Structure 1
Amino acid sequence: MSSPFFYYNSTFDAQETMRRHAATGLQPTPGYLTNYLGVRIDPKFFPTLLAGRAGEVEAIPIPANWHADIAEWAAALRAVELARERFTIIELGCGWGCWLNNTGVAARRLGLTPTLIGVEGDEGHIGFAREACAVNGFPSESVELHHGIAAATRGQALFPRQDHAGVQWGLEPIFNASDRDIAKALKRGTHDQLPMIALEDLAKPHGRIDLLHIDIQGGEADLIESCLPTLAERVAYILVGTHSRQIEGRIFQTLLAAGWLLEIERPAILHLGPAPLVVVDGVQGWRNPKLLP
Structure 2
Amino acid sequence: MLKTAALKIPQIRRLWQDRANLLAERNLLRQQNDQLRSEGAEPGSVFFHYNCSFDAIDTINRHARNDLTANPSYVTNFLGVKVSPRFFPGILDGRAGTLEPIPIPANWHADIAEWAAALRAVDLASGCFRVVELGCGWGCWLINTGAAARHKGLAVELIGIEGDSEHVAYAHEAMAANGFSGDEFRIIHGVAAPERGVALFPVVENAGASWGSEPILSATAEQIKEASASGHYQQLPAFSLAEIVKGEPVDLLHIDIQGGEADFVEAAIGDLNKFVRYIVIGTHSRQIEGRIMSTLLSRGWKLEMERPAIIGLPDGRPQIQVDGVQGWRNAGAV
What residue is the counterpart of 2:187 in the other structure? 145
| Aligned ranges 1:256-271 → 2 under 5 Å | 256-271=297-312
Deviation at 1:187, TM superposition (A): 2.5
Among residues 162, 168, 171, which one is paired with 1:126 in the alignment?
168
What residue is the counterpart of 1:220 in the other structure? 261
| Aligned ranges 1:168-207 → 2 under 5 Å | 168-205=210-247, 207=248
2:208 is matched by which residue type in structure 1? G
Higher helix share: 2
Q: Deviation digits for residues 171-199 of structure 1, max 9, x if unmatched?
A: 11112333233223223321110011111
Distance 2:74 2:137 in 1: 17
Deviation at 1:290, TM superposition (A): 1.1
- Structure 1 spans left out of the alignment, 5+ residues: none
Q: Deviation digits for residues 226-261 of structure 1, max 9, x if unmatched?
A: 111211121000000000000000011011110000
- Secondary structure, counterpart of 2:223 in structure 1: helix
- Secondary structure, counterpart of 1:71 in structure 2: helix
Distance 1:26 1:263 in 2: 30
- Secondary structure, counterpart of 2:166 in structure 1: helix
What residue is the counterpart of 1:48 in the other structure? 90
What residue is the counterpart of 2:65 in the other structure? 23
What residue is the counterpart of 1:291 in the other structure? 333
226-235 or 76-85: bigger deviation: 226-235
What residue is the counterpart of 1:136 in the other structure? 178
Distance 1:133 1:228 in 2: 30
Distance 2:222 2:333 in 1: 45
Deviation at 1:4, TM superposition (A): 0.5
List, as ranges, runs of 4+ consecutive aligned residues in structure 1 with deviation greater than 6 Å.
Answer: none
When the two structures are superposed, what TM-score results if normalisation uses the length of structure 1?
A: 0.97
What residue is the counterpart of 1:246 in the other structure? 287
Q: Deviation digits for residues 39-74 of structure 1, max 9, x if unmatched?
A: 000001111111111000000000000010000000
2:89 paired with 1:63: no
2:293 is matched by which residue type in structure 1? F
Distance 2:157 2:204 in 1: 29
Distance 2:80 2:323 in 1: 25
Distance 1:121 1:147 in 2: 6
Deviation at 1:282, TM superposition (A): 0.3
CA contact (8 A) 2:197 2:218 kept: no
Distance 1:218 1:140 in 2: 31
What residue is the counterpart of 1:89 in the other structure? 131
90-99 or 225-234: bigger deviation: 225-234
What residue is the counterpart of 1:39 in the other structure? 81
Count how many residue pairs are aligned between Structure 1 and Structure 2.
291
Q: Deviation digits for residues 128-171 of structure 1, max 9, x if unmatched?
A: 11111111011011111111111110000110001121111111
- Which structure ranks higher in relative contact order (CA pairs < 8 Å, sequence separation ≥ 6)? 1
| RMSD, matched Cα | 1.1
226-235 or 41-50: bigger deviation: 226-235
CA contact (8 A) 2:281 2:325 kept: yes
CA contact (8 A) 2:198 2:219 kept: no
Q: Deviation digits for residues 252-281 of structure 1, max 9, x if unmatched?
A: 101111000000110000011121101100
Distance 1:233 1:179 in 2: 33
Deviation at 1:291, TM superposition (A): 1.1
What residue is the counterpart of 1:14 in the other structure? 56
- Structure 2 spans left out of the alignment, 5+ residues: 1-42
When the two structures are superposed, what TM-score results if normalisation uses the length of structure 2?
A: 0.85
Deviation at 1:7, TM superposition (A): 0.2
Q: Which protein shows a greater Rg?
A: 2
Distance 1:204 1:123 in 2: 22
CA contact (8 A) 1:152 1:200 kept: no
Distance 1:5 1:243 in 2: 16
- Secondary structure, counterpart of 1:192 in structure 2: strand
Among residues 144, 147, 151, which one is paired with 1:109 in the alignment?
151
CA contact (8 A) 1:158 1:174 kept: yes
1:272 is matched by which residue type in structure 2? L
1:150 is matched by which residue type in structure 2? A
CA contact (8 A) 1:153 1:198 kept: yes
